[in-house]
A = this chain, B = another copy of it.
Amino acid sequence: MQEALKGDADQMAGVENGHAEWPAYQRLAESIRQSIVDGAYKSGQKIPSEVALCKSSGLALLTVRQALGVLVDEGLLERFPGRGTFVTEINWRKAAFVMHGLDDKVSSEDIRVRIVCSDVRRASEDVAKKLGLSVGEAVVYLKRIITVQNRTPLLVQEGYLLLDPFRPIMEAELASTYLIGLFKGSGQGLIKTAKMFIKPGLLSQEDSALLGHPLGSVVFRLQYTFYDSAAKPLAIGTFIIPDDALTLSSTIGVQIPLEGED
């Protein structure tokens, strides 16, 4: 029924599995992807319309749209109503970077959280502004160090939490791996949004001692703000992460498997 696809089938990389058939929309997506790689569809140029692809592939409109959707998600295609579908021109400045190296370690069970310091402080101008408080209001200051068991310390966390007078924070909660646990009981106030920024930084004397890294090493400074469902900030702070503990990587254009990294 779909003889037009037979030609595409041997362009596929993953069909050799035998009894594991790939869905039609994936096969079509791979076929178009190959046309982009080959240069048949050139960067910035228009590719055949949905209807044309329906005819050439023998697939239904929705299936063709599904295939195109895959490639749009991959950033290979851009679609414009009334104009057509175009091959995205590669642009390294539009890259999105994902974090590696932390999740596998931190999500493992043998994590230890050590509280370096925790007390109630008066909000400084900066902290008050970021937490939506008045200067001088009470906040919880927190400094913790997170270690994978039997290993060198992974990161330092330093930040401020809202002080909820109706629910004092327990010492045990402060050692929770997931900061979210801190806000579980607090009324509406579960974390619904997190905003983060990454900046490069230098290790301070205190933090270099805590992390066992040389003074003046370069680090990632991951600044966060956690919000509740009413978009009210609940917590701000910074994760201080040695550069060897975290990788921020990105692949744009046609995805190719990454071999050994350094």
Contact = CB atoms under 8 A, between A and B. Distances in A.
Nearest to A220: B200
A243 interface: yes
Contacts of A13: none
Interface residues of A, number: 55
Interface in A242-257: 243, 247-256
A103 B107 CA distance: 34
Number of copies of this chain that the complex holds: 2
A202 to B, nearest CB: 6
Interface stretch (A1-9, A50-58, A168-176, A191-199): A191-199
B201 A218 contact: yes
Interface in A66-107: 73, 90-99, 102-103, 106-107
Given A218-B201, A229-B39, A97 B94 contact: no
A231 interface: yes
Contact of A97 (B43, B103, B180, B198): B198
A257 to B, nearest CB: 9
Given A39-B190, A95-B99, 7 more contacts: A94-B103, A192-B254, A193-B253, A198-B198, A199-B248, A200-B200, A200-B218
